[in-house]
Structures are given as C-alpha cells and as structure tokens.
Structure 1
Amino acid sequence: MSQAEAATDAVTTGPAAGAVRAPRLLWTFGLLRSELLTTFRRWRTLALLGVLAAVPILVGIAVKIETSDGSSVGGGGPDGGGGPAFISQITNNGLFLVFTALAATLPFFLPMAIGVVAGDAVAGEANAGTLRYLLVAPAGRTRLLLTKYAIVLAFCLVATLTVAVSALTVGAVLFPLGDLTTISGTQISFADGLGRALLIALVVAASLVGIAALGLFVSTLTGSGIAAMATTVGLLITVQILDQIPQLHAIQPYFFSHYWLSFADLMREPVYWDDLVKNLGLQGLYAVVFGSAAWARFTAKDITA
C-alpha cells in the first residue's frame, strides 16, 4: 500500500466522534508501519545499505591480500601510520574489522546515507505530490513529522548494524577470532568483545542523530527531494572540512561530527566516558534544536501541491 492510499484509507475509515485516542494511536502505528515498509522497499535505500555492506568486504579483502606474504598492515592512528583505527589489529582478530569498518564509514559513508534518507523525508513527499494526502489524514503535521524522524532514526540503526554485521561476517571468514587486546593493553574475552562491538554500533547509530535532525529540517525547507539531499550532504562535507582547520579549534567542539570517533574509548579498560558523553549530549542538542526548527517550519508550511 502506498503512502497516499494509506492516508486515503485513514480518511475513509477515520475515527468516530468520541473515540479519538485509540484510533489515533492505531493510526500512528499504521503510519509508522507504512513508512517503514515504503522506506526500506525503495531501491535507493537498498542500494545505500548494499554500498555500506560492501565497505567491510573491501577492507577485509584488502587487508588479507596485503598480509598474505606475512607482512603487517599499517594504520590505526599516529603510531600505526595512516588508515582507519584498529586496522593493524585485524589480522590478529577478525573482530577488529567491525571497529575498523565503523571507523572507516562514520566520517562520510554512514552520514551521507542518513543525509539522503533524511533529506528526502518531507521534500520527497512534496515532490511526489503525496504530502497533502498524508496531511488530510487525522495524524496531523506534528505526528507525521515525528513519524518521519522515527523512520530516519530507524535507518540510522539499520545502516550501522549492516556495516557491523557485514564486518563481523567477513572478519570471521578471513581472519581468526578469539580473545582480544584493548587499547589499554588488557585482555578481554571474545564474548566481552562482541558485547563491546554491539555497544559501539549503538553509539555510532546515536552519533548520527544530529545529522538526521539537520537533514529533516532541510527537508522541510524545499519541495525538491534532490535539493534537500544535496544540501544535507553538502553541509556534512563542509562541517567535516571545517573540523580539520586548526584555526577553528574554539568552535569545533560544537560541530556534530567532532566527537564521532570517540567510540574508540569503549575499547579502553576502563572505558573513557568523557568524550562519549559529550558526543551523545551534542547529538541530543542538535536533535532538539533542528527538530524544533523542522517542527516550526513544517507546521506553518503552506502545502499547495
């Protein structure tokens, strides 16, 4: 069922007078289910997830080829040369491919995918002419906007887990698994490592909350899905560049991407929580500010098409 058909059915079979709360709740779940199915059935969404799943495969194969003669691979920070964090540890334990893949995709690939989905959330409906049909239904603009944001957040989680699961699978196939050594030099069990990998994936997903809210706000400013997606990705690239300029160090802690790689602190013993807390707090701030801006814009927007 398309979104327009779902909205039309909701109008035809809308709640009777005096029975508002339960039908509206049912409408919310129905709208959420419809939006989830519509979003994850799109070829564009599947293509984005496919690209994200391919990144760990390419990294794993590249490391396997480079180390096939017994040599080591460089990377993982200042002491390990260039490359994503943890890459030098992959040959010892395939679980490190999960951390490496997340570190490699978080600066650009993951947020770009989120920017595409968030930017198209409202503008895509307006461009397709289905937005006014959705607004005719009894959900209201606020509930529709919250549903759209919930879908984007769901995509954040699915996209992150896609990278993690793909990396874990490739790591298990190409490299040995077992107990692993933390950044602090202590040994933890494989089960503990898996738990930390899941926690890191959740933190990475939460790190995308800010760009998701920003993309949703941009999506309410235009009726062109392509323009909204391009603007969101452009802002992402701009912020990433500004975050690398030393002269801007005073304002860089306020960029939504500044603490993204703090998830590596979860691989310390004990865990360093300072930057992790700052990252989650900053993402929450962006969600509130740009979520409120999106609500103010969307509730006052004149839908004529």
Structure 2
Amino acid sequence: MSHAEPVRPASPLWTFGLLRSELRTTLIRWRTLALLGVLAAVPVLVGVAVRIETGDGGSVGGGGGGEGPAFIAQITNNGLFLVFTALAATLPFFLPMAVGVVAGDAVAGEANAGTLRYLLVAPAGRTRLLLTKYTTTMAFCLLATLTVAVSALTVGALLFPLGELTTISGTRISFAEGLGRALLIALVVAASLTGVAALGLFVSTLTNSGIAAMATTVGLLITVQILDQIPQLHAIHPYLFSHYWLSFADLMREPVYWDDLVRNLGLQALYAGVFGTAAWARFMAKDITA
C-alpha cells in the first residue's frame, strides 16, 4: 500500500475505540505483563535486602550529593522512602528499557504481524494512528512508574514504620504530605520517559521488525547512559535525555529546587517534539506493504 491512502473522516467515538483497543492489546500481552512483574519485583528485592541487613544489626549507607540513591539510608526510619529508592533504582535502566520495548514494537510489531495495513484501511489515518500509538506508550510509562511506586509503598508499609519523614533539607513533613510528594515524584518520573518513548516510536517506523526496533531502542538507551558517565564529554551531558532524570530528588527538599526539574521536563519535551515529528514524517512517507 502506498502512502497515498484516501483520507477518511474518523469520529471521536471511533478514535476512542481505537485507543481503547490499543491499550487493551498492549496491556494483555505476556511481554508487557512480564515487564511489569520485573518492575514490581525490584522494590521487593530492595526492601527485603534492607530489612535483612538492618535486622542483622548492620547499617544502610546512602549515596552522596542528595541524589535518589541517598534515600536508601532512610528506609528503616520510614517505609515511604522505599518508594523514592525504588524509583531511583529503576529509572536509569529498568523503566526506560521497558518503555523502549513497548515503543519500539508499536509500529514495527504491527508491520511484522501483517496488521499495520489493516489498521490503515480503517478510518484512522496515519497521523491519528501514530498519535494513538504514542498515547498508548505514554500510558504504559505511567502504569510502569505507578507499578514501581505502589509495590514499593506496599513493601515499605509491611516491613518498615510509616509516619512523619525528614526531607533532604532536614525539615519534617507529615506522612500525608510525604505521600503527596511521592505521587508527584512518580508523575515526574513518568514524564521523564517521554523522550525515550518518542525515540522508540521513531525507530519503530524505520523497520518492519519489532525485535530489531526494540533492540535498537534499548541499545541507544544504553549508549546514552554510557556517554552520560564519561567526564570528558561533560559538554554534551546537559543535552542527553537521561542527564536530569534523578532531579526528582529535589522534590524532597524544602523548599523544592525547581531548576533541574524544569530543565528535565523541558529536555523531554524537546526530545518528544523532535523524534515525534521525525516519526510522523517517516510514517507518512513509509510504503506500507504488510
């Protein structure tokens, strides 16, 4: 099928049905469920490890600089810190890898299965279909992040005390306020994955192999992470989509430091705009034969 399909109007009801179908199809796949299961297991492993170590009379050390990993030192005092620790532990690799797999398979997987041509016969249009795919991927970003947060909160409540907590700045806040900040942090972490989602969607439009698209997206993710750790490349670090990921820790300061948080969200919006546009341009010109 060429890229010159006739334009057919799609009603809002039909569009909603397409989105609902995409969400259902994505979420019931065994691969998706396995990814969510791995993400949910990370807080369990961290919580049990901390519990065993402190139960033996040991102490838990934390990282420096007030970054995410420093939260681990506070878990034994308040189980809510397990949420922050789990998000900091999964954000550098597990969360973006899961998102990269889903995004990379979005278009290429349909082409590989021979269903992409069928979807374009329906009154969706390429732009609407691509937006639906990206919306579905972003919904997975949120679901994956909340899976980590809810698992961590449950494990933290079972293994450690809950109550007032001390911020990075040393001030005390109520448990309710801490819970609100945990939710805000989860939303920021989900938003931090928008750049990876757009990158994966773009890669997905370049090939008809879902496996190749997923592998390429994850490979690019690992490459960017490596580049971000090389001191000699410090000049490009602020432009890498992963550079400000751990800035969510600033939400646990009093007052909140917004500078790096704003830089992170702005950078994600830039990546989403650039690679989203590139994905649209490629998809509109793509010759659909499967």
Q: TM-score range by the shorter chain?
A: over 0.9
Closer/same/farther in 2, CA of residues 127 and 246 from structure 1, 3 Å limit: same
Paired positions, count: 283
4+ residue segments displaced more than 4 Å:
none
Closer/same/farther in 2, CA of residues 242 and 37 from structure 1, 3 Å limit: same
Amino acid at match of 2:90: T
- For structure 1, the 5+ residue unaligned runs are 1-14
Instruction: Give me the TM-score of the superposition, normalised by structure 2.
Output: 0.96
The answer as to 2:22 corresponding to 1:47 is no
Give 2:161's aligned residue. Answer: 176
Contact 1:75–1:87 (CA<8 Å) still a contact in 2? yes
Contact 1:215–1:232 (CA<8 Å) still a contact in 2? yes
Contact 2:245–2:264 (CA<8 Å) still a contact in 1? yes
Q: Whose relative contact order is higher, 1 or 2, with alpha carbons under 8 Å and at least 6 apart?
A: 2
Please give the alpha-carbon distance, in whole angstroms, between the structure 2 residues aligned to 1:264 and 1:78: 10
Contact 2:66–2:249 (CA<8 Å) still a contact in 1? no
The answer as to 2:228 corresponding to 1:243 is yes
Quote the offset at 1:27 in angstroms: 1.3
- For structure 2, the 5+ residue unaligned runs are 1-7
Quote the offset at 1:79 in angstroms: 8.5
Worse overlay, 153-162 or 63-72: 63-72
Give 1:73's aligned residue. Answer: 60
Give the 3-state SS of the residue equivalent to 1:84 in structure 2: helix
The answer as to 2:186 corresponding to 1:201 is yes
Give 1:301's aligned residue. Answer: 286
Give the 3-state SS of the residue equivalent to 2:77 in structure 1: coil
Please give the alpha-carbon distance, in whole angstroms, between the structure 2 residues aligned to 1:226 and 1:277: 34
The answer as to 2:45 corresponding to 1:58 is yes
Please give the alpha-carbon distance, in whole angstroms, between the structure 2 residues aligned to 1:136 and 1:102: 41
Task: Kindly report which structure 2 residues correspond to 1:137-148, keeping only aligned pairs within 5 A, or say none.
Answer: 137-148=122-133
Q: Percent identity?
A: 87
Please give the alpha-carbon distance, in whole angstroms, between the structure 1 residues aligned to 2:179 and 2:71: 15
Quote the offset at 1:78 in angstroms: 5.4
Give the 3-state SS of the residue equivalent to 1:223 in structure 2: coil
Q: CA RMSD in A?
A: 1.3
Please give the alpha-carbon distance, in whole angstroms, between the structure 1 residues aligned to 2:63 and 2:166: 14
Please give the alpha-carbon distance, in whole angstroms, between the structure 2 residues aligned to 1:292 and 1:78: 37
Task: Kindly report which structure 2 residues correspond to 1:1-305, keeping only aligned pairs within 5 A, or say none.
Answer: 20=9, 24-77=11-64, 84-305=69-290
Quote the offset at 1:295 in angstroms: 0.1
